[in-house]
Amino acid sequence: MNTRNRTSQVNGGHIIISIILCAVAVLFLLPIILVVLNSFKFKLAVINTPFALPDTASFAGLSNYTNGLAATGFFKAAGFSFFITAFSVAIIALFSSMTAWFITRSRSLFCKALYFVFAFAMIVPFQMVMFPLTHVANVLHLDNPIGILFIYLGFGAGASIFLYSGFIKSVPIAVEEAAVIDGCTPIRAFFSVVLPMLTPISITVAILNTMWIWNDYLLPSLIIGSEYRTIPVAVQYLRGGHGSIDMGYMMAVITMALIPIIIFYFFCQKYIIKGVTAGSVKG
């Protein structure tokens, strides 16, 4: 009887936890669902009845999508967003992994101090460096889609190096020593032996930085402005005279912007927990 009671209590606890988690999931999904539903409504219907389902009076069909994409130059903006996001993430992952490997394997005081500098960079508010950064970017001619890649590298390196360093501490150094004994140079040992072992944390770093850079509005608007609009910057150009906004157009454009990042996250999200937990084994 005791065993049955314990089993029923455990099952009851699992049911309660499942209900709570489902409720939390609905709360997180509700804003996305509302954006998608409102993307098929006329402007006034979005304003007056944002929580109602589209009906015969409010249903706008695909007109919000066609007009919204044309008004924002969505596909051109998407091209800039894809370029900046893909290359920024690749540069961050490559240089951060190399830096973290060197800092972690070296025992010099300089490398230890350098690690704390990168860790400190994680807590510096962007607003503190916003205006000096804009001036420096103009002076160094970084105010273009290629120059902003290096700016993202600077801002993304701190957290990425922190994650890589924790993971590298769990990688046996004997593997690298064996590669050196076999004739590998340190650079070749890193790319041939160490880098493939960093795949879980590399995917974690890629996911976190992709979501940040893809959705970032502030840096592109400050550095490259309207000449090279990314999707978040292009959305603001739906604002008309006197601050009026066609909310139907905006909901449609936001929905289109969400699709690539949701697909990317859906296929890669399992690696986030795997990479972070693996990096917390040692140190």
CA–CA dist 44, 36 (Å, integer): 16
How confident is the model over 154-169, as a mean pLDDT?
Answer: 89
The 10s digit of each residue's pLDDT in 24-74 is 888 888 888 888 888 898 888 888 888 888 888 888 888 888 888 888 888
Q: Which residues contact 76 (CB under 8 A, 6 or more apart)?
A: 229
pLDDT at 84 over 80: yes
pLDDT, tens only, 222-238 = 888 777 889 988 888 77
Residue with the larger pLDDT of the pair 172 and 212: 212
Integer Cα distance of 176 and 180 in angstroms: 6
Q: List the Cα angle 37/41/45 in 5-degree steps.
A: 110
pTM above 0.75, yes or no: yes
Q: Please report which confidence band the pLDDT of residue 9 belongs to, taking 50, 70 and 90 as the band edges.
A: low
